[in-house]
Amino acid sequence: MEKLLQNIINECYPYIKNGEVATYIPELAKADKNEFGICTASHGEGINGVGDYKKSFTMQSIAKTVILLRALEDKGEEGVRRLVGVEATGKPFDAFNYSDQALKSEHINPMINAGAIALCTLIDGKTYQEKFQRLLDLTRKIAGNPSLDIDEDVYLSEKATGNKNRALTYMLKAYGIINEDAEEVLDCYFRACSIKVTSVDLAKIAFVLANRGMDTLSGKQIFDKNHAKYINAVLMTCGMYDGSGEFAVTVGVPAKSGVGGGIMAVVPGRMGIGIYSPALDSKGNSCAGIKALELLSKELELSIF
């Protein structure tokens, strides 16, 4: 497996030049666009990684996956569906114009910023500090890494410059989708996006999703298998921003990207994949990362279609 992964990195490395690191969050602009790592977690093969697969980076939008899981675990599918829909918007992840009419819950999904921000309000906890801690604890649990924590510099950078997310939150309040303190909700969301992971952590999280919530190492069911099914379906249709349809055709597995350069891909029943390459395309997806997943999917026949 490592030889295959190294060959893929070698073949995909030139695609880095097609992208640039995110700059709208100042701390993310400090990333080295030439870093590139892949890690897989699978039955039989275990954990295999090459390149910069141990490099730490922030989850950014990949955290939306865990936010959705935490909300499902706390409020159930019915509670989640009352707040957000499941249809792809076909628009950028931070867009405002989801509908020509008044904004309704069904116009947003859990994998765009507005949807994930709204879902933070469903997490159980007396305070937003407690809500975030429960979210972080769940991330640590499914990654099998109790040391996961936030990157304080990225968190503060996002909080200082995240005015578009701030505007989205007040838009949600204006349309009555959320009713809680906007700044407290945002703080939880910014902290979630700032959780530091490696490609190994992403591969492990994806592998638990691939096994419908079960940790195959311990044989324990970490979360409801129906919630894993729900999340994987949403990742398939909405996880790669407004490039999800193209990704479904070329790669064909549930996945979530983040502007920190990460991609987490779920191969149901088979494998979890974590990739880090911070040079992004115009949609906010890793250029080399998407190409690597395309080649890996073809080589191992990973597509679910």
Catalytic residue numbers?
Answer: 61, 64, 189, 241, 259
Give just the sign of the alpha carbon dihedral 145, 35, 274, 218: negative
Contacts of 203 (CB under 8 A, 6+ apart): 39, 40, 41, 47, 49, 264, 272, 273, 274
- Rounded Cα distance, 68 and 123, in Å: 9
Q: Contact at 8 Å (CB) between 144 and 131?
A: no
Both structure tokens of 135: 């979210």
3-state secondary structure of 94: coil
- Rounded Cα distance, 137 and 255, in Å: 22
Enter the DSSP assignment of 162.
-
DSSP 142-205: HHT-TT--B-HHHHHHHHHH-HHHHHHHHHHHHTTS--S-HHHHHHHHHHHHTBEE-HHHHHHH
What residues does 264 pair with on adjacent strands? 256, 274
Q: Contact at 8 Å (CB) between 86 and 109?
A: yes
On the CB side of 4, how many CA atoms lie within 13 Å of its CA? 13
3-state secondary structure of 276: strand
Q: Contact at 8 Å (CB) between 28 and 22?
A: yes
Q: 221 to each of 46, 161, 181, 196, 264, how far by Cα in Å?
A: 19, 39, 35, 24, 21
